[in-house]
Amino acid sequence: MNLCTLLICSLLTAGPVYQELPLGSIRPEGWLEEMLLRQRDGITAHLDELYPSVCGPDNGWLGGEGDRWERGPYWIDGLVPLAYILDDEALKAKARPWIEWTLASQQENGFFGPDKSYPYIEGLQRGMAHDWWPRIVALKYMWQYFNATGDERVIPFFLKYFRYQLETLPDKHLGHWTFWSEYRAGDNLDIVLWLYHRTGEAWLLDLAALLHSQSYPFTQAFAERDMLTRMGSIHCVNLAQGLKEPVIWWQVSGDKRDLEAVRQGLEDLRQFNGFPTGMYGADEALHGNNPTQGSELCASVEMMYSMEQMLKVTGDVFFADYLVKVAYNMLPAQISDDFRWHQYLQQANQVTCSFGVHNFDVGYKGTGQVFGLLTGYPCCTCNLHQGWPKLTQNLWYRSSDGLAALVYAPCRMQARIGRTQVSIREETYYPMDETVRFSIDPSRAVEFTLSLRIPQWCETPVLSVNGESVPCEGPVARVTRKWRKGDTVTLTLPMTVRSSRWYQNAAALERGPLVFALGIPERWEERHFDGKMAAEFGDTYFEVFPEGTWNYGLMKAAVYESATAVTVCKDTARMTGRWYWSLDHAPVTLQVPAARIPDWTLYNGDTGPLPYSQVPFRGANDMSSHSADSIETITLVPYGCTTLRISEFPVLTQ
Ligand SMILES: [Zn+2]
């Protein structure tokens, strides 16, 4: 070990602030369990049958001659956590051949995975067998498999492969076969550093430095503030996945500029490309913040995963707020309620999901916006599976002095504090409701600290233990005591309605972690492809059309005095149900003063040019250009309950 490595080692004693619990320690309940069951029954348990050409037995990651790039490993990266979180033997059995083949494929020099390329066949990625990139995805699923089972073959497997990387990368750079690994090196680095913390093998730090040196320089790109201010400068998924690299590397560098660069990058992303949901306009390449630009489903699940990893490493709950925003707004809206169909590109203002090119960067022969299995591009078909299971896995962490709940959803968890088994049940209708109740059940009385995140939007949190109020300060409230069976903790996070400003000064209304949108009644129409289109995009897809009016602006008071001008309505029966995520299940709605803007009309299947706020409001008797109609009360629902929506509204003067 050289002096430099020694210095690095001394910085690395602490490791991530929060530690993951073994997969299966956190079980979903309530609406989250329903979501995971729908996911299992809809697509995740059946992708090998629904998409046999890529995920069937001829896949290269099962030893076949078929597809050998990212898509098979993507599916397994979501299937493994779902299987162990639900403790579902059939799902585990489905993942096992992939795990076993991966382990068995390792060669003497440490290389693993498909090692032979084949000529191109339409729809299959059979070349690039040695590319680093699909191996990064395979490392992710092997890592989770180890976290679920502790299979003792996995650590030697990782060590052997990382030796191979250390020896091979100097000649065959991360970008040797394709450029994807250069942008996504953070995920490779993440597992190398995890293994370093576990084994103390100092040479892993040399590999970490090598990976970092060959990674796309995100720290520099974010700090210089050029890339995110220009359209077309980076691919949407490379950005969502890659932006964690400076934070992962910060564990080695200790340089706060790595952390600051990511925060700067996320600020610029919001300002120049952002939507209220935390995602951004990038329908392949970065494409600005017009709410009719698209956001790819892969980008949402990768953004969530980046936030989860950065949260654990730094303990900075900014990343938890961000994670929740993407998860509870974008994700339910982009996948059908039966979890069989998804949309490649989602719009923040989306009034049709129609066949056509719209104004996206790439056309996908008109399939980018419709719902289907393979429509758009089928990366998302395989990658969407990681979203909800990994969110579930990140509801609780182990901290240095106890347990931490940083993201809220109904669940039950189990962990050991020393030799004491602790079970905690988390009962809540969050994010629809404001109260989270924890019932603590240790096998015997045990002292530890319970850490609870106070979301950044919450100004007046209230915390009680066994009914008695205790001090509660953000960003993380901590309660240290000797916990006994039957102890309860209640956290109330009052949600007020607030507004935020976006493209053309448009306004969005938010309450707690949820963005609210005009939910437009939907008409789904099933369509079919045949011939070459069916081979490429699947034989079934759905267009969705509006059955109601959408061209509303919000009255000024709704935006400037949201807390008083907007009425919050709760439906208790819906709130206590197991499914929230459609228009007729929305448990909380907002009643908002608004008026129609007759000039704001459909263009190319999208909302036409967004009128710049403020739009003059002259009332019903003056229909001159850009004036608005009479005042109405419109109902907004959680964004995640919508398929068709307006979430960025013009603001009307009064
Ligand atoms: Zn995708």
Indicate if 126 and 199 belong to the same structural domain.
yes
Report CA(566)–ligand 1 centroid distance (Å).
37
Beta bridge partners of 498: 510
Collapsing DSSP to helix, strand or coil, 161 comes out as: helix
pLDDT of residue 624: 46
Which of 215, 237, 266 is a domain's end point?
Answer: 215
Report CA(121)–ligand 1 centroid distance (Å).
20
Confidence check: pLDDT of 160 > 60: yes
Report CA(284)–ligand 1 centroid distance (Å).
9
Report CA(344)–ligand 1 centroid distance (Å).
7
Residue 597 lies in a domain: yes
Report CA(573)–ligand 1 centroid distance (Å).
36
Indicate if 454 and 596 belong to the same structural domain.
no
Which of 176, 193, 215 is a domain's end point?
Answer: 215
Query: Which among 501, 516, 504 has a CA at the least distance from the CA of 647?
Result: 516
pLDDT band of 625, cuts 50, 70, 90: very low
Report CA(482)–ligand 1 centroid distance (Å).
47
Confidence check: pLDDT of 542 > 50: yes
Give per-residue pLDDT as tens, 220-233. Answer: 999 999 999 999 99
Report CA(360)–ligand 1 centroid distance (Å).
15
Residue for token pair 């550093």: 193
Confidence check: pLDDT of 641 > 60: yes
pLDDT band of 615, cuts 50, 70, 90: confident
Report CA(238)–ligand 1 centroid distance (Å).
11
Helix 71-85 / helix 30-42 crossing angle, nearest 10 deg: 140
Indicate if 628 and 641 belong to the same structural domain.
yes
The residue-averaged pLDDT of 284-309 equals 98
Report CA(297)–ligand 1 centroid distance (Å).
6
DSSP state of 442: E
Indicate if 488 and 523 belong to the same structural domain.
no
Give per-residue pLDDT as tens, 346-378. Answer: 999 999 999 998 999 998 999 999 999 999 999
Give per-residue pLDDT as tens, 398-430. Answer: 999 999 999 999 999 999 999 999 999 999 999
Report CA(378)–ligand 1 centroid distance (Å).
6
pLDDT band of 1, cuts 50, 70, 90: very low
Residue 593 lies in a domain: yes
Indicate if 487 and 613 belong to the same structural domain.
no
Cα dihedral: 137, 348, 501, 282 (round 10): 40
Asked whether the beta carbons of 440 and 488 are under 8 A apart, the reply is yes
Q: Which residue has better confidence, 3 or 488?
A: 488
Report CA(455)–ligand 1 centroid distance (Å).
30
Report CA(302)–ligand 1 centroid distance (Å).
10
Q: Which region among 325-334, 445-454, 586-595, 619-628 has the lowest average model confidence (pLDDT)?
A: 619-628
pLDDT band of 14, cuts 50, 70, 90: low
pLDDT of residue 6: 45
Residue 72 lies in a domain: yes
Beta bridge partners of 409: none
Q: How many CB atoms lie within 10 A of CB 287?
A: 20
pLDDT band of 616, cuts 50, 70, 90: confident
Q: Output the six-digit token pair for 359.
A: 């104004």
Give per-residue pLDDT as tens, 132-144. Answer: 999 999 999 999 9
pLDDT of residue 175: 97
Report CA(345)–ligand 1 centroid distance (Å).
9
Q: Output the six-digit token pair for 350.
A: 């989306």
Report CA(120)–ligand 1 centroid distance (Å).
21
Indicate if 35 and 176 belong to the same structural domain.
yes
Confidence check: pLDDT of 621 > 70: no
Rounded distance between C-alpha atoms, residue 390 and residue 281, angstroms: 24
Indicate if 444 and 566 belong to the same structural domain.
no
Report CA(365)–ligand 1 centroid distance (Å).
16
pLDDT of residue 497: 97
Residues 6+ apart with CB under 8 A from 6: none
Share of the chain above pLDDT 90, in %: 94
Q: What is the DSSP string of 11-23?
A: HTSS--SSEEPPT
Report CA(158)–ligand 1 centroid distance (Å).
27
Rounded distance between C-alpha atoms, residue 551 and residue 617, angstroms: 14
Rounded distance between C-alpha atoms, residue 86 and residue 507, angstroms: 40
pLDDT of residue 622: 53
Collapsing DSSP to helix, strand or coil, 605 comes out as: coil
Which of 194, 215, 236 is a domain's end point?
Answer: 215
Report CA(371)–ligand 1 centroid distance (Å).
13
pLDDT of residue 630: 85
C-alpha separations of 344 from 274, 521, 527 in Å: 18, 21, 17
Cα dihedral across residues 145, 307, 231, 514: positive or negative = positive
Report CA(623)–ligand 1 centroid distance (Å).
44
Report CA(315)–ligand 1 centroid distance (Å).
29
Report CA(414)–ligand 1 centroid distance (Å).
34
- How wide is the angle at C-alpha 317 spanned by C-alphas 312 and 320, nearest 5°? 80
Q: How far is CA 66 from the centre of its chain?
A: 29
Residue for token pair 């069916």: 534
Indicate if 440 and 574 belong to the same structural domain.
no
Report CA(380)–ligand 1 centroid distance (Å).
3
Give per-residue pLDDT as tens, 181-219. Answer: 999 999 999 999 999 999 999 999 999 999 999 999 999
pLDDT of residue 626: 46
Residue 515 lies in a domain: yes
Report CA(83)–ligand 1 centroid distance (Å).
22
Indicate if 451 and 557 belong to the same structural domain.
no
* Domains identified in the chain, total number: 3
Rounded distance between C-alpha atoms, residue 248 and residue 213, angstroms: 13
Give per-residue pLDDT as tens, 307-328. Answer: 999 999 999 999 999 999 999 9
Confidence check: pLDDT of 67 > 70: yes
Indicate if 444 and 506 belong to the same structural domain.
no
Rounded distance between C-alpha atoms, residue 417 and residue 402, angstroms: 7
pLDDT band of 10, cuts 50, 70, 90: very low
Q: What is the DSSP string of 514-545?
A: EEEEEE--EEEEEEE--HHHHHHH-SEEEEEE
pLDDT of residue 654: 67
Instruction: Write out the E strands in 429-495.
Output: 435-442, 446-453, 462-465, 468-470, 476-483, 487-492
Pairing of strands 402-405, 446-453: parallel
Rounded distance between C-alpha atoms, residue 548 and residue 536, angstroms: 33
Residue 610 lies in a domain: yes
Report CA(478)–ligand 1 centroid distance (Å).
39
Q: Which domain holds residue 415?
A: 406-428+435-492
Rounded distance between C-alpha atoms, residue 356 and residue 367, angstroms: 7
Report CA(489)–ligand 1 centroid distance (Å).
40
Report CA(287)–ligand 1 centroid distance (Å).
16
Helix 132-149 / helix 71-85 crossing angle, nearest 10 deg: 10
- What secondary structure, in 3-state letters, does 337-399 show? CCCCCEECEECCCECCECCCCCCCCCCHHHCCCCEECCCCCCHHHHHHHHHHHHHHHCCEEEE
pLDDT of residue 13: 52
Report CA(343)–ligand 1 centroid distance (Å).
10
Query: Which among 385, 428, 296 has a CA at the least distance from the CA of 36?
Result: 385
pLDDT of residue 15: 85
Residue 282 lies in a domain: no
- Note the pTM of the prediction, 2 decimals: 0.97
Indicate if 625 and 522 belong to the same structural domain.
yes
Confidence check: pLDDT of 614 > 80: no
Asked whether the beta carbons of 432 and 575 are under 8 A apart, the reply is yes
Report CA(300)–ligand 1 centroid distance (Å).
9
Indicate if 520 and 648 belong to the same structural domain.
yes
Residue 157 lies in a domain: yes
Report CA(69)–ligand 1 centroid distance (Å).
14
Residue 108 lies in a domain: yes
Report CA(163)–ligand 1 centroid distance (Å).
31
Beta bridge partners of 414: 423
Confidence check: pLDDT of 9 > 60: no
Report CA(319)–ligand 1 centroid distance (Å).
22
pLDDT of residue 620: 53
Residues 6+ apart with CB under 8 A from 546: 351, 352, 520, 521, 522, 523, 644
Cα dihedral across residues 583, 589, 595, 600: positive or negative = negative
